C-alpha cells in the first residue's frame, strides 16, 4: 500500500527530524502546524515535507483539515504526531497491506517509550487508535481530549505492527502541563456521558478497542476519588507494570496523578469560569 502521511506539529524541533526520517519511502508528507515558533518548519522543509498552518482547536479538526485541504497524493493516509516514529517492520508490513473496499480505516497499536525503554506492561500494550485511513472515507470526531474515528465499527480493521511513541520527549514538566488540559477535557466528557450506560457485555468483547472503551465507561461510574489509587494498582500490579522496572513504577505514579487531576476537575461547579 502506498500512503500519504499527515503529521500534527507545534514546536516539535526536538522530535520532527526523527519522525520524518522514519517515513523512508513515503514521498508525500504534509504537516498540519499550529503556529510553531521554533525550528520545526525549517527542518520539515529541508526534509521535503509540505506545510499547512491552522490554529489548533482540537485533534479531530486538525486531522480532518489535513484530509480535506492537504492535496494528498495517495488514497490511504497515515496519521502521526511528531513524537511518533515508524519502525522498519512497520514500513515493511504497510508495503504489503491490501485494503478491501469495505474497510475505511485501521486501528494501529503503539509502543510507549519512557527513558529509552518500551513500557511493555505499564504502557498497556497493545492499545489501539485508528491512525491509518482512507482519504475520502475516514473522518474523525473529538472525544474528551483525543479523537476517534467517525465511521461504523464494521468498517475498521486492525493493523498489528506497532509504531513508537516518545510521549515524554519534551520532559515531565511539559507532560504534566499538557495533561492538566487533558484532565479538564476528560472531566467534561465524563460529565457529559454520565447518563449514558454502555452495556456491560461490551467489557468481554473480542474487539480490544470496544473492550477498552467499555471498561472506561465502567470506571467512570465509580466514585471519582477511587480513580487515582485504582489506576496505580491497575498499572503496577494488574498490568504488571512493575516488570518494567523503575520506568514502570514512574509511569504508574504519573497516570495516578493524571487520574487525580480528572477527579479534581470533575468537582468543579458548572459556572466555574477558570480555564487553563
Are the CB atoms for 52 and 70 separated by under 8 Å? yes
Q: Please tell me whether residue 77 adopts helix, strand or coil conformation.
A: strand
Give the number of other CB atoms < 10 A from CB of residue 227: 21
Domain ranges, ordered by start, for the chain? 3-165, 172-266
Per-residue pLDDT of the chain (276 residues; tens, 9 = 90+): 999 999 999 999 999 999 999 999 999 999 999 999 999 999 999 999 999 999 999 999 999 999 999 999 999 999 999 999 999 999 999 999 999 999 999 999 999 999 889 999 999 899 899 999 999 999 999 987 778 899 999 999 999 999 999 999 999 999 999 899 889 888 887 777 665 555 555 555 666 556 565 566 666 667 778 889 999 999 999 999 999 999 999 999 999 999 999 988 887 645 555 544
- Conformational region of residue 170, where left means phi above 0, alpha means psi within -120 to 50, and beta covers everything else: alpha
Give CB contacts under 8 A, 24+ apart, made by 237-240: 239/121, 239/122, 239/124, 240/121
Query: How high is the pLDDT of residue 99?
Result: 95
Phi, psi of 133 (to 5 degrees): -150, 165
Query: How high is the pLDDT of residue 143?
Result: 84
Query: How high is the pLDDT of residue 212?
Result: 60
Are the CB atoms for 88 and 121 separated by under 8 Å? no
Q: Locate 132 and state its grid cell.
A: 491509518
Residues 6+ apart with CB under 8 A from 170: 14, 83
Query: How high is the pLDDT of residue 276?
Result: 45
Residues 6+ apart with CB under 8 A from 272: none
Are the CB atoms for 22 and 87 separated by under 8 Å? yes
Give the number of other CB atoms < 10 A from CB of residue 42: 12
Query: How high is the pLDDT of residue 227?
Result: 86
CATH class of the domain at 3-165: alpha beta
Query: How high is the pLDDT of residue 204?
Result: 56
Query: How high is the pLDDT of residue 205?
Result: 60
Query: How high is the pLDDT of residue 210?
Result: 62
Amino acid at each position: 500500500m502506498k500512503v500519504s502521511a499527515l503529521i500534527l506539529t507545534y514546536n516539535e524541533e526536538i522530535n520532527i527530524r526523527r519522525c520524518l526520517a522514519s517515513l523512508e519511502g513515503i514521498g508525500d508528507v504534509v504537516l498540519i502546524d499550529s503556529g510553531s515558533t521554533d525550528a520545526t518548519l525549517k527542518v520539515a522543509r529541508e526534509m521535503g515535507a509540505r506545510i499547512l498552518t491552522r490554529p489548533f482547536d482540537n485533534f479531530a479538526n486538525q486531522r480532518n483539515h489535513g484530509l480535506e485541504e492537504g492535496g494528498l497524493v495517495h488514497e490511504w493516509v497515515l496519521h502521526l504526531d511528531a513524537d511518533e516514529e515508524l519502525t522498519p517492520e512497520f514500513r515493511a508490513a504497510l508495503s504489503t497491506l491490501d485494503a478491501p473496499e469495505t474497510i475505511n480505516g485501521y486501528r494501529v497499536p503503539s509502543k510507549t517509550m519512557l527513558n529509552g525503554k518500551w513500557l511493555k506492561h505499564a504502557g498497556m500494550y497493545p492499545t489501539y487508535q485508528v491512525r491509518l485511513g482512507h482519504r475520502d472515507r475516514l473522518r474523525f470526531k473529538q472525544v474528551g481530549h483525543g479523537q476517534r474515528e467517525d465511521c461504523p465499527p464494521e468498517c475498521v480493521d486492525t493493523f498489528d505492527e506497532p509504531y513508537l511513541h516518545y510521549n515524554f520527549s519534551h520532559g515531565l514538566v511539559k507532560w504534566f502541563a499538557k495533561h492538566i488540559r487533558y484532565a479538564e477535557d476528560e472531566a467534561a466528557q465524563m460529565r457529559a456521558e454520565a447518563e449514558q450506560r454502555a452495556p456491560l457485555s461490551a467489557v468481554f468483547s473480542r474487539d480490544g478497542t470496544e473492550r477498552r472503551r467499555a471498561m472506561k465507561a465502567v470506571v467512570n461510574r465509580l466514585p471519582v476519588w477511587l480513580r487515582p489509587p485504582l489506576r496505580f494498582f491497575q498499572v503496577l500490579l494488574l498490568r504488571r507494570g512493575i516488570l518494567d522496572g523503575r520506568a514502570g513504577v514512574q509511569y504508574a505514579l504519573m497516570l495516578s496523578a493524571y487520574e487525580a487531576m480528572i477527579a479534581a476537575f470533575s468537582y468543579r461547579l458548572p459556572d466555574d469560569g477558570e480555564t487553563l
